[in-house]
Amino acid sequence: MSIPAILISTIFVNNYVLARFLGICPFLGVSNKMETSAGMGVAVTFVVTLSSIITYFIQKGILDVLGLQYLQTIVFILVIAALVQFVELVLKKISPTLYNAMGVYLPLITTNCVVLGVAILNIQEGYNLIQTIFNALGSSIGFTLALLLIAGIREKLELADVPEVLKGFPIALITAGLMSIAFLGFGGLV
């Protein structure tokens, strides 16, 4: 698959949140405000891309060579958890301001299934290293796009006259469903 096709596919057609339904917890939990959504999107982009590269080398250099493919999920989870801890420590030392701005979102990334899903799907799709990197970037951009879209809508809904029974989480679920249906329109792009 070509790089532009991978990017279009992961951002729009096979968006990890709106088409594959991965990452729903942060999608609904962190999307109340644009600022928090943007912070989560940046943090997820960094971790997804770096973890995809590391897990690619672990899969190709260790698991495949030793015939330990059955340990893939466990190893990938450990890599992601260690990477998030490493990123948190580095940010705390190098840039306390950035750490304070993103500190809340970093631990949440460990349990974000988009990170693990991208790493596993990179291997299942048989992507090479360059395709893995662009798949990780595209999926992160798609995740961030979905977060920002729903955050913008939810901010507007706070000002709207929504029936009492639909306020809060129910209208967010309806909005997410409608967004998912809208993204089906991108199906013919790739």
Per-residue pLDDT tens for 117-150?
999 999 999 999 999 999 999 999 999 999 999 9
**CA atoms within 13 A of residue 150's CA, in its CB half-sphere:** 32
Burial 97-124 (b: 16+ CB within 10 A, else e): eebeebeebbebbbebbbbbbbbbbbbe
Q: Is the pLDDT of residue 102 over 80?
A: no
Mean predicted confidence (pLDDT) in 78-102: 82
pTM of the predicted structure, to 2 decimals: 0.86
Q: Is the pLDDT of residue 94 over 70?
A: yes
Percent of the chain predicted with pLDDT > 70 = 97
